[in-house]
Structure 1
């Protein structure tokens, strides 16, 4: 039976080469591109033979940890079904442990694992060239491949059991957004480091930590033995322990899959629900999903989003014309973006028009309304700031200012969000109705719209003043003030966000009738 399953797995792998001419052509082109990429990676690894052992250790541990994390996260991102799902083999009557072992072996017959095996083999030759024992290099390659494969097997089985109903392109987009937020700052940070033939201290510390974690231990211990490092045995123990733990978890997962009933697929019932299929089934989750649809589909919101980075970038031009160096001027736009993003929802209720009656008529709690409306802005703002802050600091060239930039941006963004939660419930003002041009604003008979905008804008700056002051001190005098800017910024920002949403929730609940009157009249 085991041999039959392995033959089926190999047949599935080769079956992708069958089909009409256009399909075969696309597959062959993809395979050729993949082969060229693998060859380039292997050549890059082999070229490291002339580098020092410390450089090789840094590259292999960081890359190996990233690949291992990718194998563990990929099943949650991908929406394809697993051909080796243990429940598919329940009718064969195999014992749990026997089926688990067979699926482990069958899991090795896959294109990602085969590609990893080729690249890991090239890395193994580099380890041997750097003085690692041949046996240690072989075990390191085998442990690394098995660890990645088991992470993928467990994650894929878990995704098939728990994520099938809630998988959608919106959820996939969220995962990809998280990956983008992690990758881009990391690339910017690595590009800013000065190697000079030696590994920067920041990377050396990161490698030392990853070498004793499940993600990097298998890729580290061969070279640690070559360097007679005392942590080599610790890395080996972690690698072996991780592999054994993953095998045990995999057996438990297979047993659970074989002894539980698969939940009925609800794809047809949930089809077309979009963000409603992703958000929790709570009042706040429903409001967040509806707000996300508006923010990503209504051109009135889209214009506001597009204008923010453009307006922030324009602030740099006068500074450059006045002779301010780019390394200083580049620090200005990111706090402006944080402030404007937090300021955007200050009139969010008005954009609902008469649809706000659903919240009031259904008796939704004010906290659910306030937090649900902030989800789209936070989903846009936090990843955007996570990318722009390290880029700005890298252009500036002084990474010690990173804590100050984080503190200033958090203070401005969260303070503006908290004040916006109050302003949108206290003083909404008329805007262009749904479907109309966002550039055609209705006539206003009062000045409360201008007052609300100004109070949110100036109030956020005033509340972020301590972080701004410490940031200026860090830039001009004492770099140690950057840490104070971080803690003051985060503390003030979070406090104002929580307090602002609480006050806004109370105001929304008390002024429900007046808000409905405003929606009907505007």
Structure 2
């Protein structure tokens, strides 16, 4: 059975090369992968010239990145899985007969061969810096098996869970998530000073990664030989992760061979855009419509585009006035978080007459409130995730990152909670769809000014305890940064939940008044 499936796998690869117009691109891609592997292997083997702790740290980080890459790439690529168990249903085989052969057949691919080559070089390097060969080889086997198992699960998830939803919008979400992770990491590494040894901040990160399923297999040799903290936990996590991945793969094959899902007509969903990505619920539909508006309407885009400008603008006069750059670097993040939470305080008014769809369809207030928050969260979370490490890098004290996080959470989430109430209670007239975002209608009352000021001032009041703790962490005891983090997260999440709940109740009671306001403006 194994030989038959391996032969089918090789024939599929050869058939893909013989496809019209596919030979040159696939060969070019293979050459790029080979060149990357050669460079990676040369770099890994060259680590033997460094100090053992430096080599161990870099090998652990490289292995963790490979695990993460194999876990995400099948979902992000959107390609059809050639080893989908359902493809072998015509052979009349049971699920248990396919679990092992399909796992072995996954070894026959260019990425897998590249992974094996890198792990072989890593095992050689581990051996040269003092790791017993048996342990280095065992760690390499566990690492390769973990990567391939996660890739198989990722492919199954993309095939059976995301089927019919593979749109460019979904890919953009994955890319956005990678940016959120990669950019802060790059900023963090660029701020490190090695000096021939592993910086203490980086060693703390490695110790944390080594006890996670992503980094346990890669960090197992270093944890055992160099006596890292919780070495036994690292080994246990690596083995338990591999066992869990194997069990999940067996369950996935069993499910694929014993369940029949209704077919999905891609033509019915191909042009739905964000509606094909969000759940088929009232909140999901409102979220999709809100995303389309926020990223396609000049009025929304202008509100978003001005936030980074507002955050960075105060830095210039501070520097001119002689404020040290390390202190001025602390200013943009709180300002941007404040305005990101405040920007949604009048989002209902931007709907204009389209708000009647929500009212006539009987959409619940909770679905309306939750759906409208999605685009702001999609913008705010990545923006702050990148801004916080950049600010910490310019400031020079990474120990204050928890305080940054707490302040940003209190201002951003707290502002969203108050905005969820204000947009129902006190909407005010804005420029109509198609008008210039700089053209504002005349208003007869002061409701708009009061609503804007109330949300902004209320957000500052809510975040005051967190701001106080963050200030004390900056000026007195940096250990208070952790207290500021939890205070900010607790305050922000609590106010957000209460604001959404209150806004939902108010929407259910005032929805027709909101529609009357939209029709009148």
**How does the TM-score come out when normalised to structure 1?**
0.93
Match of 1:507 in 2: 506
Match of 2:304 in 1: 305
Q: CA deviation at 1:15?
A: 4.0
Cα distance between partner residues in 1 of 2:311 and 2:230 = 49
Match of 2:397 in 1: 398
Matches within 5 A, 1:80-95: 80-95=79-94
Bigger mean CA deviation after superposition, 67-76 or 216-225: 216-225
SS in 2 for 1:363: coil
Match of 1:10 in 2: 10
Match of 2:330 in 1: 331
Q: CA deviation at 1:236?
A: 5.0
Bigger mean CA deviation after superposition, 285-294 or 484-493: 484-493
Matches within 5 A, 1:283-432: 283-432=282-431
Q: CA deviation at 1:229?
A: 7.5
Bigger mean CA deviation after superposition, 383-392 or 240-249: 240-249
What do you get for the CA RMSD once the two structures are aligned? Answer: 2.4
Match of 2:133 in 1: 134
Cα distance between partner residues in 2 of 1:424 and 1:231 = 50
Match of 2:165 in 1: 166
SS in 1 for 2:294: helix
Bigger mean CA deviation after superposition, 168-177 or 331-340: 168-177
Q: CA deviation at 1:210?
A: 4.1
Note closer, same or farther for the CA distance 1:192–1:362 as it changes in structure 2 (3 Å cut): same
Matches within 5 A, 1:144-223: 144-223=143-222
Note closer, same or farther for the CA distance 1:218–1:366 as it changes in structure 2 (3 Å cut): closer
1:222-248 CA distance string (max 9 Å, x none): 445555789767655554454444334
Q: CA deviation at 1:291?
A: 0.7
Q: Contact 2:143 / 2:218 at 8 angstroms: preserved in 1?
A: yes
Q: CA deviation at 1:412?
A: 1.3
Bigger mean CA deviation after superposition, 219-228 or 54-63: 219-228
Q: Contact 2:78 / 2:158 at 8 angstroms: preserved in 1?
A: no
Cα distance between partner residues in 2 of 1:282 and 1:210 = 37
Bigger mean CA deviation after superposition, 257-266 or 391-400: 257-266
1:464-499 CA distance string (max 9 Å, x none): 222222222222233233233223322322232222
Match of 1:474 in 2: 473
Q: CA deviation at 1:352?
A: 0.3
- Which sections of structure 2, spanning at least 5 residues, go unmatched? none
Q: CA deviation at 1:417?
A: 1.4
SS in 1 for 2:434: coil
Match of 2:520 in 1: 521
Q: CA deviation at 1:279?
A: 1.7
Cα distance between partner residues in 2 of 1:107 and 1:315 = 55
SS in 2 for 1:430: coil
Match of 2:459 in 1: 460
The count of residues paired between Structure 1 and Structure 2 equals 521
Q: Contact 2:418 / 2:458 at 8 angstroms: preserved in 1?
A: yes
1:87-116 CA distance string (max 9 Å, x none): 101111234333222212210001111111
The answer to whether the aligner puts 1:446 opposite 2:479 as a matched pair is no
Cα distance between partner residues in 1 of 2:308 and 2:233 = 48
Bigger mean CA deviation after superposition, 133-142 or 439-448: 133-142
Cα distance between partner residues in 2 of 1:239 and 1:456 = 48
Q: CA deviation at 1:281?
A: 2.3
Bigger mean CA deviation after superposition, 282-291 or 477-486: 477-486
Cα distance between partner residues in 2 of 1:291 and 1:322 = 42
Q: CA deviation at 1:348?
A: 0.8
Match of 1:49 in 2: 48
Bigger mean CA deviation after superposition, 144-153 or 475-484: 475-484
Note closer, same or farther for the CA distance 1:484–1:133 as it changes in structure 2 (3 Å cut): closer
Cα distance between partner residues in 1 of 2:445 and 2:154 = 57
Q: CA deviation at 1:5?
A: 2.7
Bigger mean CA deviation after superposition, 400-409 or 133-142: 133-142
Cα distance between partner residues in 2 of 1:28 and 1:410 = 48
Q: Contact 2:403 / 2:473 at 8 angstroms: preserved in 1?
A: yes
Cα distance between partner residues in 2 of 1:213 and 1:483 = 22
Cα distance between partner residues in 1 of 2:305 and 2:237 = 48
Cα distance between partner residues in 1 of 2:18 and 2:463 = 62
Cα distance between partner residues in 2 of 1:209 and 1:313 = 33
Q: CA deviation at 1:173?
A: 2.1
Q: CA deviation at 1:361?
A: 1.6
Cα distance between partner residues in 2 of 1:443 and 1:229 = 66
SS in 1 for 2:165: coil
Cα distance between partner residues in 1 of 2:367 and 2:211 = 43
Cα distance between partner residues in 2 of 1:260 and 1:499 = 41
